[in-house]
Structure 1
Amino acid sequence: MAPDSLAAALTATTAAVLAAVLLAITWDRGSGVRRAAQRSATGVLCLATALAATGICINRQVDTVTTWSALAGQDTTTPGDATAAADTGGHSGGHMFTFTVTGAASGLTLPVRAYLPAAYHQQPTARFPVIEALHGFPGSPASWVNRLAAAHHLDQEIAAGRMAPTVVLFPPQTPDALLDTECTDLTHGPKAETFLTVDVPAAAEARLRVRTDRAGWGLIGYSAGGYCATNLALRHPDRYTTAASLSGYADPGITIGDGTEHTLNDDAWRLHHLPQPAVALYLSSGLADRRAHHDAETLRRLAHAPLDVTTSYVDGGGHSMAVWEAAEGPAFDWLSSWLGRPVT
């Protein structure tokens, strides 16, 4: 029973209800010190179970913590080669697996999920384009797999011919579920940017049949991951040719430690003050998501050749999984139109 499972949510909710019933039944039992102690104990139990149920239900929505060991701060993954996981795409679709990236540059060792299209096994001499998919905060790669059903959408777009067969990586962007890195190298924290732009590509190119040129690499992300996608593409145009942001922002909204949250890691500042790279960006959000929509329009107005910016907005819709799932398929298709095709 995982901490993001329906069973865990139902169990915690049941415990909270029973604790409330126990508090009501025992409220007037006993007398004096015994009654006070009894009320205090059952009150604490009631509060603790209510908080646990609330936390599990929220975690179920964002998939921040997917194992109990992760909740305890323990990393149960071990370095090694790719290990097969359950096929999520059916006999005619792709499949998911997980491999561990031991980051020589960043010093981070983290598990990375990957989607391999059906063509990966059907074309054993081909090298495929790659998209790194980045999650929001709070969140985890499991959000892409579970809440956004990424494998299903990828199978669907590839089968319909709207997207070329593509390897998609789902890396974590923080080693601590409660630490928001915004995919940057924190001055006194983990080097998430280095992990994502150096270590993850190096591991994928060493273990998988993927393209190694910039024309074969792109990024996509939602919410904080949307900021990550555009920011990393602008900062590393030698690695990525395109990026898609679903309800992302123009700045990280955190303190990095060196002041670059106001300069080099602020996309609007970068487009206004620095030469613009030959990168293609896709910016999408719900029209009701005021900050994301405002920032997308700001970047669109600041952009000029050789930078290419395309915007696409969902009617209504706030900052939610429903909006990101609606925008997911078109965003993958758009990325594929800019990425190089599989090559032999």
Structure 2
Amino acid sequence: MAPDSLAAALTATVLAVLAAVLLSATWDSGTGVRRAARRTATGVLCLITALAATGIWINRQVDTITTWSALTGQTTTAGTDPPPATHSDTGGQLVTLTVTGTASGLTLPVHAYLPAAYRQQPTARFPVIEALHGFPGSPSSWLNRLAATRHLDQEIAAGRMAPTVVLFPPQTPNTLLDTECTDLTNGPKAETFLTVDVPAAAETHLRIRADRAGWGLIGYSAGGFCATNLALRHPDRYATAASLSGYAEPGITIGDGTEHTLNNDSWRLRHLPQPAIALYLSSGRADRQAHQDAETLSHLAHAPLTVTTSYVDGGGHSMAVWEAAEGPAFDWLSTWLGRPVD
């Protein structure tokens, strides 16, 4: 029973209710010190079970902690269990690669969505998008809460998106550690894993394009910052990136001060030459910080950098906004990426 499962959530809820019943039933039992001790113990039990139930239900919404070991902050592959693959003739399917990062030192599993055309065109090589999750979150957030495979099937089947391989990598080996997809000083080298090790493994095991015209990024929330930052830092690897409610700066301490300079998108656009890439910035209009940051980056951009903005009316910083935005974002990315080639 995983900590993000419905069974765990229901069990925790039942325990919280039973604790409340126990508190009520024993409130007036005993006398003196025994009564006080019993009330204290059952009251604490009520608090603990209520907090546990609340935490588990919240975790189900963001798919952050999917193994019990992740609760202790241990290095883990949490959030990497894929849902059952789709085997229909018209839909894509999921496979899982174990990426042994020779450059980053990280070894983590990465899910890969293979479009139906991947099976139907056995000699073709396909464009690739790396999809980055938020914090807290995991690759499972894309696959479960955002139903990414269903949206990809729909957009490709409708002809709004070319058949594309989409990778869902974790950007931290520890679900309690936010890397913002950077190489942390004295910490995991998430940027190196995502920009060197993941592409190398994917190009080895999958039929995909290896040129920059075939590679793009997408992310939501912290993953939105990841997408724009990695594209700006590695224009030789990525041609385009889409940010759903992302930010202009990382919001963490990297350890070398680059959160204020080289890993700060606003600073880069003000002080460094702008690369020839295309960015798509989307957010809910009510998501004040993400909307403001998108406007800032858009106003700072100039040729050869291209920036397109798209805003959802209302909507805060939520999965509902990101699910509404992901289809158009994938379609937009596809217009900037190269097509499948033999």
Partners of 2:2 and 2:68 within 8 A in 1: yes
Report the RMSD for the aligned CA atoms in angstroms. Answer: 1.5
Aligned CA distance change for structure 1 residues 135 and 291 (closer, same or farther; 3 Å): same
Post-superposition Cα deviations, 1:128-147, rounded to whole Å, max 9, x if no partner, equal: 10000000000000000000
Aligned to 2:145: 147
Unaligned runs of 5+ in 2: none
1:115 aligns with 2:110: no
Aligned to 1:260: 258
Q: After superposition, where does 1:117-196 map in structure 2 within 5 Å?
A: 117-196=115-194
Aligned to 1:37: 37
Aligned to 1:5: 5
Partners of 1:86 and 1:97 within 8 A in 2: no
Post-superposition Cα deviations, 1:191-224, rounded to whole Å, max 9, x if no partner, equal: 1100000010011011111110000100000000
- Quote how far apart the aligned CAs of 1:85 are: 6.6
C-alpha distance in 2 between matches for 1:326 and 1:290: 18
Give secondary structure in 2 for the equivalent of 1:252: coil
Query: Counterpart amino acid of 2:56?
Result: I
Aligned to 2:21: 21
Q: TM-score, normalised by structure 1?
A: 0.95
- Quote how far apart the aligned CAs of 1:33 are: 3.0
- Quote how far apart the aligned CAs of 1:32 are: 2.8
Specify which of 283, 286, 301 is matched with residue 303 of structure 1: 301
Partners of 2:247 and 2:290 within 8 A in 1: yes
Give secondary structure in 1 for the equivalent of 2:283: strand
The number of equivalent residue pairs is 339
C-alpha distance in 2 between matches for 1:230 and 1:89: 33
Give secondary structure in 1 for the equivalent of 2:97: strand
Partners of 1:130 and 1:169 within 8 A in 2: yes
Give secondary structure in 1 for the equivalent of 2:124: coil
Query: Counterpart amino acid of 1:24?
Result: S
Aligned CA distance change for structure 1 residues 89 and 228 (closer, same or farther; 3 Å): farther
Partners of 2:73 and 2:176 within 8 A in 1: no
- Quote how far apart the aligned CAs of 1:72 are: 4.9
Partners of 2:101 and 2:193 within 8 A in 1: yes
Which consecutive segments of 4 or more residues in structure 1 shift more than 6 A? none
Give secondary structure in 2 for the equivalent of 1:228: helix
Query: Counterpart amino acid of 1:308?
Result: T
- Quote how far apart the aligned CAs of 1:168 are: 0.3
Aligned CA distance change for structure 1 residues 299 and 75 (closer, same or farther; 3 Å): closer
Specify which of 331, 337, 340 is matched with residue 339 of structure 1: 337
Query: Counterpart amino acid of 1:50?
Result: A
Post-superposition Cα deviations, 1:243-278, rounded to whole Å, max 9, x if no partner, equal: 000000000011111111011111011001000000
Give secondary structure in 1 for the equivalent of 2:15: helix
Unaligned runs of 5+ in 1: 78-82
C-alpha distance in 2 between matches for 1:202 and 1:32: 70
Aligned to 1:80: none
Partners of 1:89 and 1:152 within 8 A in 2: no
Partners of 1:89 and 1:151 within 8 A in 2: no
- Quote how far apart the aligned CAs of 1:31 are: 2.0
Give secondary structure in 2 for the equivalent of 1:324: helix
Q: TM-score, normalised by structure 2?
A: 0.96
- Quote how far apart the aligned CAs of 1:225 are: 0.2
C-alpha distance in 2 between matches for 1:240 and 1:121: 25
Query: Counterpart amino acid of 1:53?
Result: A
